[in-house]
Amino acid sequence: MKIGIYGGTFDPPHLGHMAAARAALDALELDKLLFVPAAVPPHKALPEDAPSAEERLAMTAILADAMLRPDRVEADGLELERTGKSFSSDTVQALRARWPEDELWFLVGTDMFLSLQDWHEPETILSNCGIVAFARARDDRMEALERHAARLREKFGAKVRVIQIPDLVEISSTELRGLLAMGKGQEWLCPSVYGYILMHGLYGTHADLEHLDDADLRACSYSMMKAKRIRHVKGVEEEGVKLALHWGADPEKARKAGILHDCTKYWDLEKQLRTCEKYGIVLDDLERRAVKLLHAKTGAAIARYVFGMPEDVCEAIYWHTTGKGDMTLLDKILYMADYMEPGRDFEGVERLRELAYTDLDEAVLLGCEMSIQDMEERGQPIHYRTQEAYDQLRDRKRD
C-alpha cells in the first residue's frame, strides 16, 4: 500500500491543503492519505487564542471528509496522544510501526521542504519515507526545489519528488486568520469547515448564530454532518422551497427547515439522549432505542435553541421522520421534500413526486403507507405517530 502523510498545523485547514492533497493522491496514486495535525508544532508558537489541538483536528477531519473519499482520506489524531513537541520523526516512526511493509510518503509545502535538513532527526524521516514537495505550477523556485531534492537524495539517499499543483490555492493560514477576524475569507475554506469555525467562534469570528444568513446557516448545518449527506440536504432545501411556492407556504421557512432538518443525523445514541435530556424532550420506549428517530427531535432542539428558528420551522423538523396527525402545511412540505427530493431513487418515488404537486395529503398518506410497509418488511416496530398520520389521512379521504 502507498500511504501519504500530510502533517501541518492546519490552523485552519483550507482549500489549499485540499488541492495539495488531491494532487498527491493522483500523482503518487496513493491508497491512503492521512492528514496529521500537530498538537504542539515544533517550528512555531501558536497565538494564545488559537484553537485547541482538538479543534484543529476536528476541522481537519471535516476537511478530509469533504474530499468524499472516506475509504482513502482521513485525519489522524496520533500527534495529540503524545506530549511535548510534535516532531514529525516520532510520527513517522509510529506510522512505520503501524505499517511495517508499506510505502510511506511524507507530504510538505515548499518552505518546509527547503528547511527539511534542519528538522528534528531528518534522517529518521528520510529513511522511512519518501518526500513529496508541493510546488505551484510555474513556481519561480522550481530550479531551487529540484536542486534541493538532488542534495537530499545525495546526502540521505532520500526518495524525493517535487509535484506541481495546477490549482494550488494561493492563501496562507496566517492571511486567512486575518481575513476571518474581519468577517471575510470564507471563499478559501470548504463550507463545512467554515461552519465549524462559526459555531465555535474561532479566529475572532463572533457570529450571532440566531441570526445567520442562509449561506452561513448552511455552513453550520453541514459542519455537523458527513459530507456525503450534504447533497440530500441541499435537495430537501430545494424541493421544500418549490413545494412551499406551489402550495402557498412561506418558502423561506421551508428553506430553513430543509437546511437544518438532518443536522444531528450523525450524532450517536448517547449524544442524542443527552441532548434530549438537556432540552427536556420526552421520549417513548421506541424512541429511546431508535437513533434514527431521535435526530428529528434533537435537530428541532438545535434549530430552536442554537439557531433561534421560529416555532413552526422547529415543529416541521421535529415531525419530519415520523409524521403525525394534524400536520401543518409546513410539516407536510418538509415531510414530502425529505421523501422525494431529486436525489431520492426508489420504487414509487415518481408517484410521490407527482402527488406532492397535485394532492399533498394524498402524497403524505402514500409516504406514511410506504414507511409502514418498509418497517413491516424489515420486522421493525411502527411508530405510533406514523400510524396516527396514516389513519387520519385515510379516514379523511374516505369521508
Q: Using alpha carbons only, what angle is made at residue 57 by residues 53 and 59, rounded to the nearest 5 degrees?
A: 120
Q: How far is CA 125 from CA 47, 79, 148, 234, 385, in A?
A: 28, 15, 16, 44, 60
Element (H, E) at 272: helix 269-278
185 SS3 class:
coil
Q: Which CB atom, from 169 or from 291, has the smaller least distance to Fe ion?
A: 291
**Shortest distance in whole angstroms from residue 261 CB to Fe ion:** 5
φ/ψ bin of 351: left (φ > 0), alpha (ψ from -120 to 50), beta (otherwise): alpha
204 vs 343, which CB is nearer to Fe ion?
A: 343
Residue placing its CB nearer to Fe ion in the complex, 176 or 254: 254
The contact pattern for Fe ion, residues 259-298, with x = CB under 5 A and - = no contact, is ---x------------------------------------
Shortest reach from residue 78's CB to Fe ion, in Å: 34
Residue whose CB is less far from Fe ion, 168 or 230: 230
Nearer to Fe ion, 250 or 338 (CB): 338
Triad 170, 105, 27: Cα angle to 5°: 60
Name the residue nearer to Fe ion (CB basis): 131 or 317: 317
Residue (52 or 328) nearer to Fe ion, CB: 328
Binding mask 95-124 for Fe ion (x = CB under 5 A): ------------------------------
Count other C-beta atoms under 10 Å from residue 228's C-beta. 11
How many positions of this chain bind Fe ion (CB under 5 A)?
Answer: 2
Near Fe ion by CB under 5 A: residue from 338, 389, 390, 393: 338
CB count within 10 Å of CB 358 equals: 10
Single out the residue of 364, 358, 356 nearest to residue 394, CA to CA: 364
Supply the minimum distance, in Å, between the C-beta of residue 362 and Fe ion: 21
Between CA 380 and CA 390, with CA 384 as vertex, the angle to 5 degrees is 100
Q: Tell me how far, at minimum, the Cβ of 321 lies from Fe ion, in Å.
A: 5
Q: Which residue stretch of 60-68, 190-198, 247-255, 332-340 sits at the interface with Fe ion (rule: CB under 5 A)? A: 332-340
State the nearest-atom distance from the C-beta of 42 to Fe ion, in Å. 44
To Fe ion, the closest distance from the beta carbon of 339 in angstroms equals: 9
Residues 223-262 that bind Fe ion (CB under 5 A): 262
How far is residue 173 from each of residues 201, 203, 254, measured CA to CA in Å? 17, 11, 37
Residue 228 CB, nearest approach to Fe ion (Å): 13
Residues pairing with 37 in the sheet: 8
Is 11 or 338 the residue whose CB approaches Fe ion more closely?
338
Nearest 10 degrees: Cα torsion 178, 183, 187, 193: 90
Site string for Fe ion, 369-398 (x = CB under 5 A): ------------------------------
State the nearest-atom distance from the C-beta of 297 to Fe ion, in Å.
11
Question: Binding segment for Fe ion among 198-206, 335-343, 351-359, 364-372 (CB under 5 A)?
Answer: 335-343
| 380, amino acid identity | Q
Query: Rounded to the nearest whole angstrom, what is the least distance from the CB of residue 7 to Fe ion in the complex?
Result: 36
Residues 6+ apart with CB under 8 A from 187: none
Beta-sheet strands, E only, within 30-165: 32-37, 73-75, 103-108, 129-136, 160-165
Between 63 and 366, CB nearer to Fe ion: 366
Residue 261 corresponds to which cell in the numbers above? Answer: 432538518
Closest separation in Å from C-beta 249 to Fe ion: 18
Residue 11 or 237: the one with the smaller Cβ distance to Fe ion is: 237
Q: In what order do the strands lie in the sheet with 129-136?
A: 73-75, 32-37, 2-8, 103-108, 129-136, 160-165
The binding site for Fe ion (CB under 5 A) comprises 262, 338
